[in-house]
Structures are given as C-alpha cells and as structure tokens.
C-alpha cells in the first residue's frame, strides 16, 4: 500500500538534481568530448589508465577552477534575483572558451536546457527559459529552483559532466563498460574535493587556463575522422 506521507523537501530536491544531471536530459552532452577525442588521436590517451588520469586532471585543472566555480556563484545570484551578476558570469564563460567548438558546446547546451525548462518541468527558474545563458549558468539557474545547496548542485553538475566524459572515453579510446565504470568511480571519489575548491574561488581567482585542451580542441576542428562535436 502506497504511503500517504508528503515527500520531504530534501528528497524532492535530490530527485530534481538527479534529473538535471542525467545523461538522458535532452541537452546534447553526449555529443561532445571536450578535446578527449583529439587526445586519443594524438596518442595522449590510449587505455583505461591514461583515460582516467586525463579526466581526473581535467576535473581539477579545468572544471573545478572554471565552470564549477561559475555554477556555485550563479546559484546564489539566481536566488537573489541578481540578473546583472548572472549576465557577468555568462559573459565570462563565453570569453574563456578558446575555440569555436568549445564555445558552441556551452551555447548549444544552454539553449537546449532553456527549451527543456520551457517544456514545463516542475522546477527551474523561469529566467533560464528565455535567457540564452551558456550551460553552466543555465544549469545553475535551473537548479536554484530545487532548493538544494550550492555544494550539492555543483556536485550534480560535476557528476553529470563525468558521466558524459566517461562515455566519450568508452567510445573514443575505445574501452569496455567495466573500464568506464572504474574511471567514473575515480572521478566520483574526487568530485567532493573539486567542489570544495571551486566554491572557495572568488572572481579574482576563478580561471580557465588549460593550453593543452585549447590546442587539442583546435586540432579537433580539422580532424579527419571524428565521432564528437568537440
């Protein structure tokens, strides 16, 4: 017999975060490798160990210092109705994308998330629907409506990124599903530390300096054979 008790707000927030971070969300995250496919082509990644090392380093050196820091700041701005702050964070994301592919990724995924919110999901700040925000800011604004803490929202964002990147590695290296799950376990173990680091960064210390990723992304734009859009 089904319980008639009302769900706890924390339970609802958790389910909404799982929903937002799901690879099944129709935002197109599965179609991007963020330079990983070019790293495979260049011989920098070729097996489970090197793929895992690459993604863990990317989590800490790239995602934690840039997009995760943006997500935490954008959640607070959305909850305070600070549109100017959101636009400034969004502009920073666009300006720090060093190749056309990486910029197109955050713009396309942000638009798709806005369309998803407009479709009538039971949460999500209406501001994201027609904002044209890049994906990190759009995700934060949508997640702000769940009531979850910025730390939890940032963890969900990082885990969603990890799942997409692991699946990119499984296809591009290629790897077996077991290897993919072991890499995901490595990433999951490091996400809490990465989020703590990200949430400590203010505007003066947030950064996007990953020259190797920028070089590989540029090479990927003219790569002869490829599976992914970045």
How do residues 189-203 score in pLDDT, each as one tens digit? 999 999 999 999 999
8 φ, ψ to 5°? -70, 145
> Is the residue at 54 inside a domain?
yes
Task: Give me the CATH number covering residue 170.
Answer: 1.10.4190.10
Per the prediction, the chain carries an average pLDDT of: 91
Q: Is the separation of the CB atoms in 183 and 55 below 8 Å?
A: yes
Ordered alpha helix ranges (H), the chain: 9-21, 36-41, 48-58, 67-79, 83-95, 100-118, 135-144, 150-172, 177-199, 211-220
Average pLDDT over residues 137-153: 92
Residue 211: which residues within 8 A CB-CB, separation 6 or more? Answer: none
Residue 130: pLDDT band (50, 70, 90) is low
> Is the residue at 83 inside a domain?
yes
> Is the residue at 5 inside a domain?
no
pLDDT of residue 151 exceeding 70, the answer is yes
Query: Per-residue b/e over 83-112, b at no fewer than 16 CB within 10 Å?
Result: eeebeebbebbeebbbbebbbebbbbbbbb
DSSP-derived secondary structure letter, 124: S
> Is the residue at 47 inside a domain?
yes
Domain of 76, in residue numbers: 34-220
DSSP-derived secondary structure letter, 59: I
How many domains does the structure of the chain reveal?
1
The per-residue pLDDT for 10 is 79
> Is the residue at 24 inside a domain?
no
Q: Is the separation of the CB atoms in 212 and 83 below 8 Å?
A: no
């Amino acid at each position: 017999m089904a319980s008639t008790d009302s769900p706890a707000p924390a339970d609802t927030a958790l389910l909404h975060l799982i929903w937002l971070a799901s690879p099944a969300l129709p935002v197109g995250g599965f179609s991007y490798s963020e330079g990983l496919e070019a790293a495979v082509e260049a011989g920098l990644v070729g097996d489970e160990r090197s793929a895992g090392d690459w993604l863990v380093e990317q989590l800490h050196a790239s995602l934690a210092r840039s997009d995760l820091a943006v997500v935490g700041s954008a959640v607070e701005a959305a909850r305070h109705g600070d549109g100017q702050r959101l636009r400034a964070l969004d502009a920073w994301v666009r300006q720090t994308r060093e190749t056309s592919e990486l910029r197109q990724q955050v713009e396309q995924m942000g638009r798709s998330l806005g369309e998803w919110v407009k479709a009538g999901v039971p949460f999500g700040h209406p501001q994201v629907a027609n904002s044209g925000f890049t994906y990190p800011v759009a995700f934060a604004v949508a997640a702000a409506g769940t009531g979850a803490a910025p730390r939890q929202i940032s963890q969900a964002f990082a885990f969603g990124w990890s799942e997409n990147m692991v699946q990119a590695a499984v296809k591009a290296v290629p790897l077996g599903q077991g290897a993919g799950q072991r890499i995901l376990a490595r990433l999951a173990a490091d996400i809490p530390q990465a989020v703590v680091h990200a949430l400590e960064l203010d505007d003066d210390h947030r950064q996007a300096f990953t020259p190797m990723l920028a070089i590989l992304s540029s090479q990927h734009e003219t790569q002869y054979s490829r599976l992914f859009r970045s």
